[in-house]
Amino acid sequence: MSQFCNDIKVDFKRVARQGATITLKLFTATLQNVMRTLQWDNTGVKIKGRQLHHPLLAYVLVLTTTNISQAERMLAHFHKASGMIDPRLNLAKTIFMRKALVSYDPLTLNGTYISECSCNLYLGREMNMLNDLSPELSRRKRAAWGAIKSIEDVVKRTINARLRAHLFDSTVLPALTYASECWSLRKQE
């Protein structure tokens, strides 16, 4: 990893503890450094005139492509590049989703089949290729009811309406609206 033109060697086995803030930052910085070495200018999906090929968040890397062969090439390039660093690509945890227009060829890396799924959690939201929000809305309703149950005893014993409103606003609403900024609000979607 390079910081201010000086190479820094970090022993991930000693430093990395799951959930530690520094682990996440080191992993993300290292992954971004690997991504800079890949020549993916003509890969991915064009959105608003720019090629989008790898939105990155923490331990999750999303590769966006237009076909399976391009996905296999990108995955192979990433696997080769990430082999130079310690946090390697874990094929057991690697999954892919496909839109209906993409061919039904299997996705493989070095002869290993990558498992396909129809929905996945990403950024706290359940995503599916049909862009169906009903499973996500059900999850949010269950989370909100769970939050209501967690404050139920306090609310029953409290007469103060402002405190009740504050409890609702600080526990139930966040549970209900979590990741809602990703939802499409247009009728046609």
Partner residues linked to 52 by β-bridges: 45
Q: How many CA atoms lie within 13 A of 128 on its CB side?
A: 11
Q: Which amino acid is at 146?
A: G
Q: Which amino acid is at 72?
A: E
**Mean pLDDT to the nearest integer, 8-29:** 61
The alpha helices in the chain, defined as continuous H runs, are 12-15, 21-37, 68-82, 134-157, 161-167, 173-177
Quote the percentage of the chain above a pLDDT of 90: 17
User: Computed over its alpha carbons, how large is the radius of gyration of the chain?
Assistant: 21
CA distance 166 to 36: 46
Quote the percentage of the chain above a pLDDT of 70: 57
Q: What is the pTM of this model?
A: 0.53
Q: What is the pLDDT of residue 160?
A: 92
List pLDDT tens digits, range 69-105.
Answer: 888 888 887 777 776 665 566 777 777 877 777 778 8
Instruction: pLDDT band for 166, please (50, 70, 90 cuts).
Output: very high
